[in-house]
Every structure is written in C-alpha cells, then in structure tokens.
Structure 1
C-alpha cells in the first residue's frame, strides 16, 4: 500500500484537525514536486477528494496552502474559489491560477464579500476592475479604490461615481485617489454638492433653495481649484466633460478668467470656437481687442461679456511678464468697472456675478492676512500688537479706495 493509499484510508476515521494537518502536509508534498509521476497522480486525486471534506477547516487549510502556487492543480483551485467565502478567501485574494475570466465570473455572482476579496487582489487588471465598477457593491468599489496597485480605467471611475456617488466613504476615497481623472473628479464634485444640498440638516438650517444655491457656489469654487490640480494636457478632456454635462457656462468661464485660469480658458475657446489651439493661444498671448472679440463671438460668448474678459486678459498678460502684481481681487474689480453703463438684464446678472467673485476674493485675502497676523504674533511669543500697528496692516486688506462699494 502506497503512502497516498494509506492516507485515503486514514482520513475516513481521522478527526477534522488531523485531516486539516494531513491536507497541509499532502499539499506541500505535491507542490515540492518530490513525488514520482504515479505518486503525483495519486496525490492530485487525494487533494481533489479533500474538496468534499465536510469540515470547512480542512478545505481552508488546503486553500491557504495552495493559494500562492503556480503548481497547484487547476481544478482544485477552481473548486476552492467557488467554495464558501471563508474557504475561498485565500484563493480569491492570492491565487495566480485564476484568470481574468474566472475573476469576472466570480464578481458577476453578486456576492459582496467575494467582490471585496477580488478587489483587494494585488495588480488587479483593467477588465476585472471594470467588472467591479460595473456590477460591484459599494463596499467592493471602495476596496478597489483603496487598492493602490489596481489598474482602473477612467470609464470605471465614472461608473463607480454614477452608481455609488451617494456613498460617503467611497466619495472620500475617490477624492483622495491621485489616479482619478479630472473629468471624473468634477463629476464627483457634483455628487458631493448634491449630497450637501439634500442633507436634512442643511435644508432645515437654511431652506431648500438656499442650500441648493450654496451647493452650486461651492461646486463652482471647487471646480476652479480642480483646474489647478489638472495637468494642462488634460484641460481639453475636462472642458469636453464640462460641456457635455452643461457646466461649461458663461458664469463659470468668467470665474475662470477672473481667477487667472487662462490656459483652461484657452482650451475652452478651442472647443467652443473650433479654432486651432495655436491660433487661440496666439490671440490670448498678444491678440488685439478686435481679433479677441471675434474669437469670443465665434465661441458664442455673450457680447456683454467681451469687455470684462478683454480687461482681465490685459491684466493677466502684464502679470505674466512681470509688469504688474495683481490677483483675482483686483482683476474682478476692473472687470466690474468694464461693465459700467450696461443697464441690460444680462449686464446686471454679470455684474452681480463679478461682485460675488470680488467679495469672495476680498474674504479670502482677509482670511489669509488674519492667519498671517496670528502666525506672526505666535512667532513673537504672543506679544500684543499695538493699535498703531494694526491700522496700516488692515489698510492693506483693501487694495482700492472704493472697494467698499462691493462689500456685502
């Protein structure tokens, strides 16, 4: 009687713990390839027989031992992957013998725990990631995003946001993921805004309409910050996403110009006007007012916006070459001045927008200056600042003598 035959006879009466230890020993012997051809055939048959062991401890011991090996019997690995979750876990997470097709089939089974295990696999491929994004539970998508070695396509990110944008933990993980494309990051911002405006506490505090307005303003400001975090090569993709989603509005473009996002504004004009990138960049860098106005008209920007935009472009040109020091506060003030005399309804709406931009810039600058003063006081050991020193410092917060006209 061979050792394998003796083993098969022995397991019929052995206890579960003994069978589990013997399964580990047999699996190690099989993987070390120290058996003869006939012994390997018998060992493989014994391992296959152990798949029917009534104790999950035995099957788990087998799963843990075989999970990392390329030499494990394929039929044993396939059966273990389809076992109960606790038994299948080591194989689902680690086995190199499971193909993308096998993993996609397991994801399609719809068991959230299985999907989470697969999402945690190292070096997860694009097809498996796409399957999780398309049909996986929110917990599986969260595990996928937290997996730094997983390869995730931009479309998969979009599907996760579309399907599970209301899941707070997933939104936070997506926001922290550096792999997230710019267009998906903007879509995520919109879902965050929707969640904010729909929050019962926010609606009870300020009312539904006010909450929605606040969310829109917050998303617009966050989108400007998003432009800074987006590589210039991705501006065209972001512009196209904003255009298709209906967010590439005149007010958004005015904000972008006021805050100096000229490269992004140029990408928007390329998309809206149909002009070449080289042509648009040349006009923004040094084009005359008439040529720029023609470009803005071709991009279908309202004529009332031309004067403020041209004014801003002139200021940002001077800033770019070092002839002037200015920021959004000064630029928005001059853009507003360029609207003087326009009493149309469209002009009034644009003036109201520019006032909000100017006030936001004033508040931002004031907050930054206040923090700088507090930091300076801490560096001085908490020494009190005299009244005579405060007045000149506060005077610096307002660049223009008549800027109070635009304060709330």
Structure 2
C-alpha cells in the first residue's frame, strides 16, 4: 500500500497528539483512504529537548527547508501557533506545493483570505477544522450538512478558559481572581490569559464561524468584544437567583441583509442547552431556516481532542490526493453582507446599578428609560453596607442604540453608576 509522507511544524501538545494518533490509528486510516500515513520530518526549536512521544524513526530538524525541499512530503501540519512566523511558514509551504493543515485560529481569522488565495494559486489545499472549538467537528459540518440550508444564527461557548472560570464562579462561589488562579493551576489558562479572558480568542473563532455560516469575512475591529475580566461574583449570584447562568458567548446573526457578530457575557436561561455546558467544554449552536436549532458539544481544547480534528483534515486531504481533487477551498461560500445598524440589534439587557439609598433615585432611572422608549421586565433592589443601594434590572427588548443612549444619560447622573450591562438570551 502506498504511503503518504507528512511533515509537522511544531511538536507541542497538539503536535504530539497528532503524531500519537497517526501512529495509533493506522489501520482505520488505511481502510478509509487506501493509503498509509507516515510522519517523516518534524521542525522543532530544539532537537535535543526531551519529549514524551517516540521520535526515533523521525527526522527532527530546526530547518523548514528540510520539509520544503523534500518531494516525498505531501501534507504539512502547522501547529506552532501565533500569526508570525506561522503566516510566512504556511506561505512558503503552499508555494512549495505542499498541502497544509493548521489549527491556528488567530492566523486563519486574520490572514485566512490571503492564505486561501495562495493555496488556490498553487492548486493546494489549506484546511483548518481544528481552529474552532478543538475536538468539535463544526466547520466541516457547516460546509457539508448545512450546504442547502440558510443559517440564520451561530452562537456558542467557544473558549474553554472563560467557561471554566465562570463555572467556578457559578458553582463554587469563587471570585474571578480565585477562579482564574484555579484555571491556571489546572492548565486551562495561560500565565498571561489576556486573549482568553478579554474575549479575543472567542472573537477570532466567531470570525471563522461567520465566514462558514454566512460567507462573510468580518474583521476584529468591526466586532464589539467584551471579556470577563471585570465580572463580579455578585452579578453571577444575582443572575442565578433570577434563573440565569452567565456565559461568555460569541453570537453571529443574519439581520436583514447584514451580519452582526460580537462576543461578551450573556445571561442564559437556566433551562437553555448552553446553560448546561460547564468547565472547559465548548458548544456551538447553529440555527438553520429548515433544520432549526442544532447543538454541537465537546472538549474545546487539549492535545488529543484538537489532534483529532487535525487528523480528520489529514484524512480528508489524503482522500483528495487519492481522488485527484486537490486545489479546492475548504470553504467556498462567499456572500456580501450589508452593515447592520445598531437600531436593528435587539436584546433584553441585564443592568446592574449602584445609587444612593435615598428616595427619588429609581425615579431618575425610570425617567431615563421612558425617555429612550425602553421598559423594565424585572427589578431587584438590595441595600449595600455603605448607605448605597444596588439595583438590578432586566429590561424588555432594547436596541443597541437605546442601550448607548441609556449609558450616555446615566453618565450625566453623578449619583448613579452603571456597573454592568449584559445581553439576556431568550429561550
């Protein structure tokens, strides 16, 4: 049986998982593709570093040219991470007529269009199933299973670090700082968790999901991105008492002829499927006009789950090589989208306010809400220790225009502070 040789760039957690799975699953891969797979060369920073995987019969090198100049190597897996030098590495590989598989969400979200164009020019494939939601095969599912359906919304928990932190706050009454420390101790959060806790990682994934769902390429600076760094345990507890769980959600929706996408904390009803996704797990909910709501759930990170998605790309690529169908884009859906106006984006909101515990303060809030044409659904007031009151409001549907007006009006009231404003998901 013919063997297809593979190159790896990077041998960290995911790279080691890919190597392990290629070795362990040979029989099934051969059965499906009619070819054997063999990792021939791996580019690493330090060839002498001790590793927990067997590399005895593999050429370890610090030189990318050892892969580029090897005509035997047909498929290369990039798992080094980051935008640079990963972009330059993948560009060089594609120009050398190598098919590339990557798990690099930052790169695909920001430079994917350019890299796809280079792949097409060289009649090569660029696949990146593992770039979103780790072990959940969501991108290929959207391409294949939703090909004939019109997707109206894609939303989900696409960052395991923030979901773990919020779960600890919800279930163990940890403060944000305590929950972050736990996540770091368990390896669910980096020593510098900025990309995760500030919502940037989730935003990159929503850019890719929007591309597949709506055919539209959004940019990071076009999205409102709010993380969980300022999340207060008080708000998590209050949300729970009102029947909600706080989750960091990425949401992308088709609104009229446009696409709206953003990332931020959202109050999810306790009986909603997304409310049950805890700890480091991810879930993506895809809503189609024909099929309705579908939920895809699984581990969002980790060596083997992500490696499994990488391997599914390798197997697909092997089939393409065997059938002679290489050179097609992973995602061919392209669609122009209009700009969505703030007045068209409508949600109920959770508002947390601090004000002096004296008569007349709620009247001021009511007058502002009346002025902007918004109304209350629920109001809860509690007294703080320092003669101030904390008022929590859940509104009826409000547009983002009205929310901006509310913030502007409250900024002019010296005695009232808006502590938090989060979207509320309806059932």
TM-score by length of 2: 0.24
The structure whose RCO (Cα within 8 Å, separation 6+) is larger is 2
Q: Which has the larger radius of gyration?
A: 1
Q: Which has the higher strand share?
A: 2
TM-score by length of 1: 0.25
